[in-house]
Amino acid sequence: MGCGNLFYNLLVTFSVALITYNIIISANAPLKQELPGPSKSSSISVDPVIKMPLDRSRKYGKKRLFHTAVTSSDSVYNTWQCRIMYYWFKKFRDGPNSEMGGFTRILHSGKPDKFMDEIPTFVAQPLPPGTDQGYIVLNRPWAFVQWVQQANIKEDYILMSEPDHIIVKPIPNLAKDGLGAAFPFFYIEPKKYESTLRKYFPEEKGPITNIDPIGNSPVIVGKDSLKKIAPTWMNVSLAMKKDPETDKAFGWVLEMYAYAVASALHGVANILHKDFMIQSMIERHLQPFVIFRTFTSSLLFCDIYQPPWDTEVGNKYIIHYTYGCDYDMKGKLTYGKIGEWRFDKRSYDTVVPPKNLPLPPPGVPESVVTLVKMVNEATANIPNWGT
């Protein structure tokens, strides 16, 4: 508890106004975000996982529009994913039950690129060289800080999404009554890492279960709430990365934990929606099939060769194509082995996927077939694809 209090007292010493580009120029600088005073989460009782009926998640009358924001570098890899994501955003924006408003790609390369006219874009500055310590994902919270502070965002809510998300149907505003809406990740385990997290979430802020098992995407949150959360998210991310124990414990999901902590510090609880998205997920008894590939000295990405947790898209709103899909021509998954048929976004890190990718063989889960069909439709209709 003493360590947590010391960390907390250090945080509150500084003013929010001091969070500027010059202050974070040193990777060894202490946190500067002033945290809120004692606050309680919403008094509304929230079960660990809630599947909220759509008619309860919306108010009658005026729509509660949210703005979709996606952070991206200017790499070929991020850019082609953003172009596909934006194609499907436009397809479903005006559909039934949609409360989707505007869209912004937050480009944290520091300079415009040739897709500014195709995708609505806000240009953010990257972190100073060396600040991310090889963990490039730290540019995400810093990009959001700049965007929420500088951009004219008309909607009252924000959906934080990612380039490798494909929207599969119109999305309503799942947030309500001061609560955010988020997808629960089974591998975000605040209780398991309580001793580590108490460095950033001291005991006087409440039980460790106040930290939701979420990342920062997909999350729908009030704009005013995000303006408070984003600087804290950035600074907690930097602090976690600088702490060897925390860095080792959280690895590639460190910045996800940082958002969950920042949201809890500001008293913003979240409704957890399992139907928010579908992704290839790590089932615990299949962890021996996990293959780690090191891209930098400290950043790990994970390829999982297993069936998606859900084999059908069903009621999901988003497909997250995180992991590679490998099958033989009989539709059998090839664990830990490149299949005769494969789709893996990392195969296209320096070139865009070609048009008309071959469809999976019979027997492959419907969700994988849907993913490839949607990629093919987008690449067939996006102007100047591959040129």
* CB of 164 closer than 8 Å to CB of 259: no
Rounded Cα distance, 131 and 25, in Å: 7
Q: What is the pLDDT of residue 217?
A: 96
* CB of 261 closer than 8 Å to CB of 98: no
Residue 314 or residue 352, greater confidence: 352
CA-based nearest residue to 40, from 306, 213, 363, 266: 266
What is the total residue count of the chain? 387
Q: What is the pLDDT of residue 310?
A: 54
| Least confidently predicted of 132-141, 178-187, 289-298 | 289-298
* pLDDT for residue 18 is more than 60: no
Q: What is the pLDDT of residue 146?
A: 98
CA-based nearest residue to 144, from 129, 162, 156: 162
Q: Where are the beta strands (DSSP E) in 49-92?
A: 66-72
pLDDT category at 232 given cuts 50, 70, 90 is very high
Return the C-alpha torsion angle 106, 107, 108, 110, nearest 10: -130
Longest Cα–Cα distance in the chain: 62
* CB of 252 closer than 8 Å to CB of 301: yes
CA-based nearest residue to 184, from 40, 325, 309, 59: 309
Return the C-alpha torsion angle 111, 227, 158, 353, nearest 10: 30
Q: What is the pLDDT of residue 5?
A: 44
Going edge to edge, which strands form the sheet with 318-320? 165-167, 318-320, 277-279
User: What is the per-residue pLDDT across 74-123, written as a single tens digit (0 to 9) for each?
Assistant: 999 999 999 999 999 999 999 999 999 999 999 999 999 999 999 999 99
% of the chain surpassing 90 pLDDT: 71
**Which residues, at least 6 apart from 242, have a Cβ–Cβ distance to it below 8 Å?**
27, 28, 133
Q: What is the mean pLDDT of residues 7-13?
A: 39
Residue 149 or residue 31, greater confidence: 149
* pLDDT for residue 41 is more than 70: no
Q: What is the pLDDT of residue 61?
A: 63
User: What is the per-residue pLDDT across 281-290, written as a single tens digit (0 to 9) for each?
Assistant: 333 323 333 3
Burial of 290 (0-12, 13-18, 19+ CB in 10 A): middle
Q: What is the pLDDT of residue 62?
A: 86
Rounded Cα distance, 319 and 302, in Å: 17
Q: What is the mean pLDDT of residues 162-188?
A: 96
pLDDT category at 69 given cuts 50, 70, 90 is very high
| Least confidently predicted of 18-32, 146-160, 164-178 | 18-32
Q: What is the pLDDT of residue 207?
A: 98
pLDDT category at 326 given cuts 50, 70, 90 is very high
Tell me which amino acid residue 140 is.
R
| Least confidently predicted of 76-80, 270-274, 300-304 | 300-304
Q: What is the pLDDT of residue 311?
A: 64
User: What is the per-residue pLDDT across 244-265, written as a single tens digit (0 to 9) for each?
Assistant: 999 999 999 999 999 999 999 9
C-alpha to C-alpha distances, 228 to 76, 232, 263, nearest whole angstrom = 32, 7, 9
Q: Which helix (H) or strand (E) holds 181?
A: strand 180-184
**Which residues, at least 6 apart from 171, have a Cβ–Cβ distance to it below 8 Å?**
92, 98, 99, 100, 159, 317, 318
* pLDDT for residue 36 is more than 50: no
Q: Hey, which residues does 72 pair with through a beta bridge?
A: 107
Global pTM exceeds 0.75: yes
Structure-token pair, residue 259:
């958002």
CA-based nearest residue to 115, from 100, 103, 102, 105: 105
pLDDT category at 1 given cuts 50, 70, 90 is very low
